[in-house]
Amino acid sequence: MKPLAFLLTWTTYGSWLHGDERGWVQSGQAGIQAPDLDRQDNARVRMMEQAVTLNDAQRLMVERTIREVCQFRKWTIHAINVRSNHVHVVLSAEHLPEQVLSQLKAWCSRRLSEQIGLTVETDSRNGRKRWWTEHGSTKWINDDNYLQNAIRYVNERQ
């Protein structure tokens, strides 16, 4: 069955580590995992860069970039909310949600790097390499009630 839309969520680099006290997701395991401070400390030690918190200008850049990519690809945005440490987008697309998520994160990373003066020619050792966590959440929305709830969540409950 073709979904009506997807709810995509991803976090900024280092803002929600495995073991986090707010709960966290483990690949291959169902549900939200319980806090684990040892695991969180271990994840923090392995970080290659500082955690990212988006400022207002960066948040606007991310939203603008998502809108531009969706317009170019003819993906329909139902709701978008860019926060300082995560992004939510409800959209309809003719691609798998993992592909959409990957494209959005890549374009946003590119624009954020350009915004702070990093280019392809810039030595990447002197600039940020990671803006986002590795993966993200890709929820399939298969009915209108779920779609309306997802839109309300993204627009009103952040």
Q: Which H or E run includes 76?
A: strand 76-82
**What is the tens place of the pLDDT at every residue in 69-101?**
999 999 999 999 999 999 999 999 999 999 999
pTM: 0.86
Do the domain assignments include residue 122? yes
Residue 5's pLDDT is 97
Do the domain assignments include residue 107? yes
Nearest alpha-carbon partner for 4 in 95, 93, 75:
93
> In sequence order, what are the residues at sequence separation of 6 or more whose Cβ sits closer than 8 angstroms to the Cβ of residue 90?
5, 6, 7, 8, 77, 78, 79, 80, 141, 147, 150, 151, 154
Using pLDDT thresholds of 50, 70 and 90, give the confidence band for residue 18.
Answer: confident
**What's the total number of domains in the chain?**
1
Q: What is the CATH number of the domain that holds 111?
A: 3.30.70.1290
- For 19, other C-beta atoms within 10 Å of its C-beta total 19
Does position 119 have pLDDT exceeding 60, yes or no?
A: yes
Q: What is the DSSP letter of 1?
A: -
